[in-house]
Amino acid sequence: MPMLYRKTDKGAAEIATRSHRLPPRLRQLLILVDGRRDDAELRRLVHPGCDEALHALAADGFIELVGITAVHVVAQPPAAAAPSVPSAPVPLAAAAPNLEQLRRDAVRALTDQLGPAAEALALKIERTRNADELRRLLEMGQHSLRQLRGAAAAAAFAERFGLRATQ
């Protein structure tokens, strides 16, 4: 799923002052990050090396991950309409004794796999206050792992934290 980024205060200050003297490719990408364009659109605008540049800007605190955008899929009409039943949240990890321990484990797992590219997401995970918010961030982490480390790493992360495996 496409990821959405926005400039941090540090990123906006860099655009205004050039105090960090970013290389032209990173500066160009920083200018394009606006909180509305997802990473797929940014890749079309800044062809080679866009993912690495996004992660470098995030690791250095110039941009932050806002969320994952919805992928528009054309669905086939259902054969028979079934009543809609709201689904209950799936437990994140039955073995985790509490939310604090689960947050620590998730931050450690992402940092081990993604290094500095996990910093912005790790900070958000550390600030979570409930399981639903943590689940959303873990899904972002799973997506990042899929993009940077491959499907096997993302599947292992999903299994460890009780997430639904995605393709």
How many domains does the structure of the chain reveal? 2
Residue 84: its pLDDT value, please?
Answer: 41
Q: Which DSSP string do the residues of 24-42 spell out, in sequence order?
A: HHHHHHHHH--SSSBHHHH
In a domain, 93, yes or no: no
Residue 61, pLDDT score? 93
Rounded Cα gap, residues 85 and 90, in angstroms: 15
Identify which of 33, 24, 25, 23 has the alpha carbon closest to the alpha carbon of residue 62: 33
Does a structural domain hold residue 23?
yes
Q: What is the mean pLDDT of each run of 10 residues along the chain (167 residues)?
A: 85 91 90 86 82 90 79 44 41 56 85 79 84 87 85 87 76
Same domain, 62 and 103: no
Residue 166 lies in a domain: no
Residue 92: the pLDDT is 52
Same domain, 105 and 49: no
Check whether residue 57 and residue 108 sit in a common domain.
no
Query: Within this chain, do residues 103 and 57 fall inside the same structural domain, yes or no?
Result: no
Res 73: pLDDT: 41
165 occurs within a structural domain = no
Mean pLDDT value across the chain? 78
Last residue of a domain, one of 19, 49, 68: 68
> What is the reported pLDDT for 17?
92
Check whether residue 58 and residue 8 sit in a common domain: yes
- Residue 87's pLDDT is what? 37
Domain span holding position 55: 3-68
Distances from the Cα of 123 to the Cα of 85, 90, 142, 163, angstroms: 34, 23, 16, 20
Q: Same domain, yes or no, for 64 and 7?
A: yes
User: What pLDDT does 116 receive?
Assistant: 72
Q: Tell me, what's the pLDDT at 75?
A: 43
